[in-house]
Amino acid sequence: MLSHKDPLPHPPKRVLVAGVSGVGKTMLAGRIAAIAGGSHTEIDAIFHGPGWTPRPEFLADVRSLVKADSWTTEWQYDAARPLLAESADLLVWLDLPFVRVTFPRLLRRTIRRRWRREELWNGNREAPLWTVFTDRDHILRWAIRIRRKYTAAVPRLIHDYPHLIVVRLVSQQDAEKWLAGPLLGSVNACRS
């Protein structure tokens, strides 16, 4: 597993970004795609249908996505994870401190989205904030429940997909250094 300082062995073309809800996966994925090239597909947008129901075409859309030469997306949804990992050449694990960084980010995002009634995907909006007390799968409760999932999943991923390069970023500063250093460096080296 690489850190924010380690050079990449080659410029990435198919990139996954992993981490708990609210950690900043989508923002980082967009920035990676802008540097590395290729498209960024927000995986939530192809998963969620109206009324927060899973879209029946989801796995077919993931199969189409991974056929492209270059792409960046988030490593989410158990049914899609093997398809994504099989085709990716880099996984960036955004492993920021949960209590101090990730949960406050998620809380602010959830309140902002609800307050502004932001449409997320296919007409969906954040549930009323009081449902955090009644809905076991409310995004805030979900994040608390799965916050340690990646600690076991990523090392297992390295074992199951040895071709996959994994970079672990443990702070926002590390993420910024990695984007400007090893990622940009590998892309620029390939272009020259």
CB-neighbour burial class of residue 43 (10 A; exposed 0-12, middle 13-18, buried 19+): buried
pLDDT tens readout for residues 97-140: 999 999 999 999 999 998 998 889 888 998 888 988 899 988 89
51, 124 Cβ separation under 8 angstroms: yes
Amino acid 185: pLDDT = 87
Q: Does domain 14-183 have CATH number 3.40.50.300?
A: yes
The verdict on pTM exceeding 0.85 is yes
- Confidence band for 192, pLDDT divided at 50, 70 and 90: low
Residue 48 DSSP one-character state = B
Two structure tokens written together for 44 = 């939530």
Domain boundaries of the chain, sorted by first residue? 14-183
Residue 9 DSSP one-character state = S
